[in-house]
Chains A and B, each alone.
Chain A
Amino acid sequence: MVAPVRKGEQAVTVVRRLAWELWLPALLIALWAIFSATSTDPYFPPLSEILDKFADVWFFEGIRTEIWPSLQRLFVGFALACVAGVGLGLALGVMTRVDNAVRPIVEFLRATPGVAILPVMILLLGLGDSMKVAIIALVATWPILLNTIDGVRSVEPVLHQVTASYRITLADRIRFVILPAASPQIFAGARTALAISIVAMVVAEMVGTPGGIGYYILDAQRGFKITSMWAGIIALGILGYLLNKLFALVERRVLAWHAGMTAHNRGGK
């Protein structure tokens, strides 16, 4: 039972923690505002001007015309990568021989920096949306694929023996044994994949046809619309941050059982 006094104490600790976490960002932003207020440097306009521009550009027209299309590409590409990565990863994880045979090719493709594949994609698919989605999906597939294979391999051998002796079908084995056991690893791969697919999205938009936040920033720079460029950079930063938080939220939900198990194994509750 939690006494009301304890509750009050908890609230105080939360506030104190927030204060500790927020003073530095607040200070940095204040310093930025103060030092840029009288700035005449064309590349570093006053923060107040940037924020005016930010509100002007993004609320709410820009969100619909620039950010939303970017997000759509990102989600489609990332979803494709998840399906391909987990699907292929499961197959290769179960078929050891095939995995062993294609491993050098997979390693090579994984090690190739995503941007280097971009010209090939442009060659095959042009500068439009299909190229952008394809490059996002391609670079995001490898971390998910390799982590899925590792995850499948890390299933306890005893569990395999148990499922074999109960003659559990492959589909059920994947659904109830392999996937749950591999999911922490899969999520770790997906987290890496998300970060690089955001980079791929921005780069693809910068070279591709107009539209999207990456294009917006580079276009603003080329047109010497410096406040617009800053507004775009800030929006992209916030976008990256929020997407990561969203992913962490999903991960915590899906892997709640795993966190509980780890805590239990460590001797916690």
Chain B
Amino acid sequence: MSPTATANAPGAAREVTPPRPAGSIGRAAARKRKTMSARLTSAAGKLVALAIVVVAWHVFVTGPGKASGIPTPLQLIETGADLVVTGQYWDAVGNTLLTALIGFGLSVLIGVPLGLVNGTYRKVEQSTSFVVDFGRTIPGVAILPLVLLLFGGTRTMAVVLVMFSAVWPILVQSTYAAQQLSLQMKQVARAFRLSPTSRIRDIYLPSSLPFLMTGLRIAATISLLITISAEFLGGADGIGQRLYQALTVDDTQRMFVYVFTAGVLGICLNRLLVLAQSRVLWWHPSERVNKP
């Protein structure tokens, strides 16, 4: 297994909470109270940190950063409230999400089968290793001018760019996934004469899913990033294009609303992926280690 795979393995880059101290069953109630108060303290800490950031932001904007025209937190909320009731705001959000989703979906359709074949046959992997290595290290935005020439500022342009960037992590992780299957497991399957369905369900999927999920997570994040880049630089409709518009007409209020929208989309995507992973991989050690 390569170092990248180890680093990207599920749970490797996730937050690690220290295991709760073990206590006897009789102390369960006391422990529960304690975790309650611990939770309150933790929430209070988060609120304080947030408050400090908001105040610092306000002070910066009304003081030294006044010339930049950055909105204060309050102004941002006001502009945001005005904007989220408009259809054009949701058009932008919807367009960005749709573009990212199409690009991501196509990357999965292409990357997973190719990666699995790649990982199953050693000679195929050797033959493609240089091409894959080269492809995945090319910064995806490099071909932006080319796809702009070919497709103009359209969704197709953005989707092609997303595919060009997102297909590689999926392909690479699928390759690892296919290589995870140990010879012993294959022999066990043959000795027990497992049916093909059972083989897939009980042997192939469990060993490969953690790697596939990692690939999907990386690719989903890249898809959103590249979609917004393509919109920003290429002019396909979406959040990125609205950001560019706001920048060119110097409408900082609106610009900040879209910056925050992008952030919220990013964090929603993240949560969704973590949730999906814990649903699909609930049995995997990386998912169980921190759960009570």
- A residues engaging B (CB < 8 A)? 17, 20-25, 28, 43, 97-98, 100-105, 107-109, 111-120, 122-124, 146-147, 149-150, 153-154, 184-185, 187-189, 191, 195-196, 198-199, 201-203, 206-207, 214, 217-218, 220-221, 226, 229-230, 233, 236-237, 240-241, 243-244, 251, 255, 259
- 18 A-B pairs with C-beta separation under 8 A: A20-B127, A25-B130, A43-B146, A105-B49, A111-B267, A113-B228, A113-B266, A118-B243, A149-B15, A150-B15, A191-B4, A199-B139, A203-B141, A217-B144, A233-B145, A236-B142, A244-B137, A251-B3
Contact A189–B13 (Cβ < 8 Å): yes
Contacts A108-B263, A184-B7, A233-B146 aside, 7 further interface pairs with beta carbons under 8 A come to A113-B229, A116-B240, A120-B256, A188-B7, A191-B4, A217-B142, A218-B233
Contact A28–B16 (Cβ < 8 Å): no
Expressed in whole angstroms, the Cα–Cα distance for A97 and B46 within the complex equals: 10
Name the distance in Å between B218's Cβ and chain A's nearest Cβ: 8
Contact A97–B45 (Cβ < 8 Å): yes
* B50 sits at the interface (CB 8 A): yes
* B138 sits at the interface (CB 8 A): yes
Contact A107–B138 (Cβ < 8 Å): no
Q: Which residues of A contact B77 (CB under 8 A)?
A: none
- B residues engaging A (CB < 8 A)? 3-4, 6-8, 12-16, 18, 42, 45-46, 48-50, 53, 65, 68-70, 123, 126-131, 133-134, 137-146, 148-150, 224-225, 228-229, 232-233, 239-240, 243-244, 246-247, 252, 255-256, 258-259, 262-263, 265-267, 269-270
Contact A111–B141 (Cβ < 8 Å): no
Contact A188–B3 (Cβ < 8 Å): yes
Contact B49–A101 (Cβ < 8 Å): yes
Expressed in whole angstroms, the Cα–Cα distance for A118 and B247 within the complex equals: 10
Q: Which residues of B contact A191 (CB under 8 A)?
A: 4, 7
Expressed in whole angstroms, the Cα–Cα distance for A165 and B141 within the complex equals: 53
Given A101-B46, A150-B16, A153-B16, do A107 and B131 touch, yes or no (CB 8 Å)? no
Expressed in whole angstroms, the Cα–Cα distance for A117 and B148 within the complex equals: 23
Name the distance in Å between A251's Cβ and chain B's nearest Cβ: 7
Contact B130–A22 (Cβ < 8 Å): yes
Contact A237–B131 (Cβ < 8 Å): no
Contact B258–A116 (Cβ < 8 Å): yes
Expressed in whole angstroms, the Cα–Cα distance for A76 and B247 within the complex equals: 26
Contact A240–B139 (Cβ < 8 Å): yes
Contact of B239 among A116, A150, A220 (CB under 8 A): A116
Q: Which of B123, B130, B258, B267 has the most CB of A within 10 A?
A: B130
Expressed in whole angstroms, the Cα–Cα distance for A184 and B255 within the complex equals: 38
Name the distance in Å between B107's Cβ and chain A's nearest Cβ: 16
Contact B16–A154 (Cβ < 8 Å): yes
Contact A218–B269 (Cβ < 8 Å): no
Contact A24–B130 (Cβ < 8 Å): yes
Q: Which residues of A contact B258 (CB under 8 A)?
A: 116
Q: Which of A116, A189, A237 has the most CB of B within 10 A?
A: A116
Contact B126–A21 (Cβ < 8 Å): yes
Contact of B68 among A116, A124, A221 (CB under 8 A): A124
Contact A101–B48 (Cβ < 8 Å): yes
Contact of A221 among B148, B224, B259 (CB under 8 A): B148
7 smallest beta-carbon distances between A and B, as pairs: A188-B7, A221-B145, A111-B266, A116-B262, A101-B45, A112-B263, A101-B49
Contact B13–A188 (Cβ < 8 Å): yes
Q: Which residues of A contact B224 (CB under 8 A)?
A: 113
Name the distance in Å between A44's Cβ and chain B's nearest Cβ: 9
Q: Which residues of B contact A202 (CB under 8 A)?
A: 139, 141-142
Contact B143–A233 (Cβ < 8 Å): yes
Expressed in whole angstroms, the Cα–Cα distance for A22 and B134 within the complex equals: 12
Contact A111–B269 (Cβ < 8 Å): yes
Contact of A236 among B46, B129, B139 (CB under 8 A): B139
Name the distance in Å between A73's Cβ and chain B's nearest Cβ: 14
Q: Which residues of B contact A153 (CB under 8 A)?
A: 16, 18
Contact of B228 among A20, A115, A185, A198 (CB under 8 A): A115
Contact of A25 among B134, B229, B240, B244 (CB under 8 A): B134
Expressed in whole angstroms, the Cα–Cα distance for A24 and B131 within the complex equals: 8
Name the distance in Å between A43's Cβ and chain B's nearest Cβ: 5
Expressed in whole angstroms, the Cα–Cα distance for A150 and B9 within the complex equals: 14
Contact A150–B126 (Cβ < 8 Å): no
Q: Which residues of B contact A114 (CB under 8 A)?
A: 225
Name the distance in Å between A248's Cβ and chain B's nearest Cβ: 9
Q: Which residues of A contact B137 (CB under 8 A)?
A: 195, 237, 240-241, 243-244
Name the distance in Å between B176's Cβ and chain A's nearest Cβ: 15
Q: In this complex, what residue of A is CB-closest to B49?
A: A101
Name the distance in Å between B252's Cβ and chain A's nearest Cβ: 6
Q: In this complex, what residue of A is CB-closest to B230?
A: A115
Expressed in whole angstroms, the Cα–Cα distance for A113 and B270 within the complex equals: 12
